[in-house]
């Protein structure tokens, strides 16, 4: 046999089941989320009985269990007998426009729905007729809702549907990893979507320990993972963000390191090593999925850090800080060169706070001295890598034809 493939067929000493460690795995029970699950179920219950429920908005940082809880609830509902409601679970990273969301709803429920050629109005009418036809209650779950480009239009369309529909109705559940996303919505969408609000708080270190421990029990061979390794992975992720995805990624990568080194245990040493690359990986994923203007801002900071800028070395020898006002100007010229409208300085400050909260940037108040009062900002990850990453997504998108959808309306 080819030597390189030998390990493919060798039984792992470290892992018992890799699948349960994958980010796509949905655990059968979710720890510490009873309250959230009950709250969501209560909000949905009227729809299950055939009455229109309240729209719900769910928010919390990445890795706080929002997607897993929602998918778990959908599974539970599908097992119930005599339910009046139909559900569309929509991953808005993929279905990122009103057109795509409406098409997804139609393909989910309407047999013989032919994907091509329909305009927004045709699909809208098809969905409405289908709802009315059997007095249906449709629950539309919009996960990562902030990825939708024309979200105000979508929310308007779906809520408008309720007044067009004579019997039955549509309920929306929006899920977002970003709290500041509210600010981007117009007030009418906001009041439609926020009939009920639900927060998913970050996990603390004890909670993360329990989550890792449970998964390790399923995914790793017995006795392989040192209990101190679990506590360390939990502590690192709790300090960082309270993100269960990060915690699970660290322990999995630590297992891979042990395996590569033909070790029989996963010790805290592998955990600390794994933590660094897991954190980076997650940061890059976050950057990749930032809303467009936040990505442009991060891009501006990366460029300024790499190519230097006028205020270099102002901050006691550390030359990697940039001034907030300067970043705004740079962002403005980048946006302009891409023919995009620059967001207001008010929104810009929001975005900066958001990026700071997500650990992408580090920001300090300058105190007195540098042009009165300003913010000093620094990237938390290597600027060159960030620059390359953003260029891949940013300019690829620009080259694509706008959207493959008919221009109805």
Residues at the contact surface with Mg ion, assessed by CB under 5 A: 67
Is 225:215 a contact under the CB 8 Å cutoff? no
Give the integer Cα–Cα distance in Å for 137 and 79: 17
Nearest-approach distance from CB 2 to ligand ADP, in angstroms: 33
Determine the Cα–Cα distance for residues 254 and 359; give it in Å rounded to an integer: 22
Q: What's CA 299's distance to the chain center, in Å? A: 20
Report in angstroms how near the CB of residue 62 gets to Mg ion at its nearest: 7
Beta carbon of residue 137, minimum distance to ligand ADP (angstroms, whole number): 25
Q: Which is nearer to ligand ADP, 247 or 314 (CB)?
A: 247
Taking the complex as a whole, the smallest distance from the CB of residue 318 to ligand ADP amounts, in Å, to: 33
User: Measured at the alpha carbon of residue 188, what is the angle toward residues 186 and 189, in degrees to the nearest 5?
Assistant: 70
67 belongs to the binding site for ligand ADP (CB under 6 A): yes
Among Mg ion, ligand ADP, none, the one that 31 touches (CB under a kind-dependent 5 to 8 A) is ligand ADP
What track of x and - describes contact with ligand ADP for positions 27 through 46 (by CB under 6 A)? x--xxxx-------------
Spell out, one character per residue from 201 to 220, where the chain touches ligand ADP: x when CB under 6 A holds, - when not.
----------x---------
Element (H, E) at 118: none
Q: Which does 47 bind (CB under 5 to 8 A by kind): Mg ion, ligand ADP, none?
A: none
Q: Which is nearer to ligand ADP, 71 or 269 (CB)?
A: 71
Nearest distance from residue 22's CB to ligand ADP, in Å?
8
Considering the complex, what minimum distance in angstroms separates the CB of residue 298 from ligand ADP? 20
Q: DSSP string covering 225-289, please? A: B-HHHHHHHHHHHHHHT--HHHHHHHHHHHHHHHHHTT-SSB-HHHHHHHHHHHHHHHHHHHHHT
Q: Report the C-alpha gap between 73 and 337 in whole angstroms.
A: 45
Instruction: Using DSSP, state whether 310 is helix, strand or coil.
Output: coil
Among positions 75-134, residues that touch ligand ADP (CB under 6 A) are none
Residue 278 phi, psi dihedral angles, 5° rounding: -65, -40
DSSP result, 318-370: BTT-EEHHHHHHHHHHHHHHTT-PPPPHHHHHHHHHHHHHTTSEEEEE--SSS
Binding at 369: pick from Mg ion, ligand ADP, none (beta carbon under 5-8 Å per type): none
Residues 166-195 that bind ligand ADP (CB under 6 A): 177
Which stretch in 25-33, 91-99, 226-234, 268-276 sits in contact with ligand ADP by CB under 6 A?
25-33
Phi and psi angles of residue 82, each rounded to the nearest 5 degrees, phi first: 60, 40
352, 295 Cβ separation under 8 angstroms: no
Pick from 19, 23, 94, 199 the residue near ligand ADP by CB under 6 A: 23
Enumerate residues 6+ apart whose C-beta is below 8 A from 89: 70, 71, 74, 141, 143
Question: Where does this chain touch ligand ADP (CB under 6 A) — which range of 48-56, 120-128, 189-197, 243-251?
Answer: 243-251
Distance between CA atoms of residues 341 and 57, nearest Å: 28
User: What crossing angle do the helices spanning 34-49 and 66-79 adopt, rounded to 10°?
Assistant: 40
Which residue, judged by CB position, is nearest to ligand ADP in the bound state? 65
Binding of ligand ADP at residue 297 (CB under 6 A)?
no
Applying the rule CB under 6 A, the residues between 46 and 65 that interact with ligand ADP are 60, 62-65
Q: Site for ligand ADP (CB under 6 A): which residue of 66, 221, 330, 343?
A: 66
Closest Cα to residue 350, out of 56, 144, 146?
146
* Cβ-based nearer residue to ligand ADP, 284 or 328: 284
**Which residue from 17, 50, 54, 68 is in contact with ligand ADP, where contact means CB under 6 A?**
68
Binding site for ligand ADP (CB under 6 A): 23, 25, 27, 30-33, 60, 62-68, 177, 200, 211, 244-245, 248
């Amino acid at each position: 046999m080819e030597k390189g493939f030998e390990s493919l067929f060798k039984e792992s000493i470290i892992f018992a089941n890799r699948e349960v460690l994958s980010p796509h795995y949905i655990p059968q029970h979710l720890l510490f989320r009873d309250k959230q699950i009950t709250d969501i179920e209560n909000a949905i219950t009227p729809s299950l009985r055939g009455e229109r429920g309240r729209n719900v908005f769910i928010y919390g940082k990445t890795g706080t269990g929002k997607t897993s809880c929602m998918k778990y609830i959908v599974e539970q509902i599908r097992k119930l007998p005599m339910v009046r409601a139909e559900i569309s679970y929509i991953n808005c990273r993929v279905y990122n426009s009103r057109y795509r969301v409406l098409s997804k709803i139609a393909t989910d429920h309407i047999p013989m729905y032919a994907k091509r050629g329909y305009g927004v109005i045709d699909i809208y009418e098809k969905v409405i007729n289908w709802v009315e036809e059997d007095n249906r209650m449709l629950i539309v779950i919009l996960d990562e809702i902030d990825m939708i480009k024309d979200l105000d239009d979508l929310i308007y369309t779906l809520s408008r549907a309720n007044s067009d529909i004579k019997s039955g109705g549509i309920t929306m559940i929006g899920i977002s990893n970003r709290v500041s996303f509210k600010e981007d919505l117009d007030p009418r969408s906001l009041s439609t979507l926020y009939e009920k609000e639900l927060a998913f708080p970050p996990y603390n270190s004890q909670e993360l320990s329990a989550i890792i421990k449970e998964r390790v029990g399923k995914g790793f061979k017995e006795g392989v993972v040192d209990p101190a390794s679990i506590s360390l992975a939990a502590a690192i992720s709790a300090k960082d963000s309270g993100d269960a995805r990060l915690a699970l990624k660290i322990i999995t990568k630590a297992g891979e390191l042990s395996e590569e080194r033909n070790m029989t245990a996963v010790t805290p040493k592998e955990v600390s090593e794994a933590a660094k690359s897991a954190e980076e990986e997650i940061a890059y994923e976050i950057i990749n999925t930032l809303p467009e203007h936040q990505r442009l801002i991060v891009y501006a900071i990366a460029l300024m850090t790499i190519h230097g800028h006028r205020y270099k070395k102002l901050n006691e020898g550390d030359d990697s800080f940039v001034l907030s006002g300067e970043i705004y100007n740079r962002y403005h010229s980048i946006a302009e060169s891409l023919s995009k409208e620059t967001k207001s300085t008010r929104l810009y400050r929001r975005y900066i706070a958001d990026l700071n909260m997500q650990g992408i940037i580090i920001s300090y108040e300058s105190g007195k001295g540098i042009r009165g009062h300003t913010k000093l900002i620094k990237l938390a990850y290597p600027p060159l890598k960030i620059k390359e990453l953003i260029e891949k997504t940013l300019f690829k998108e620009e080259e694509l034809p706008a959207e493959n959808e008919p221009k109805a309306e």
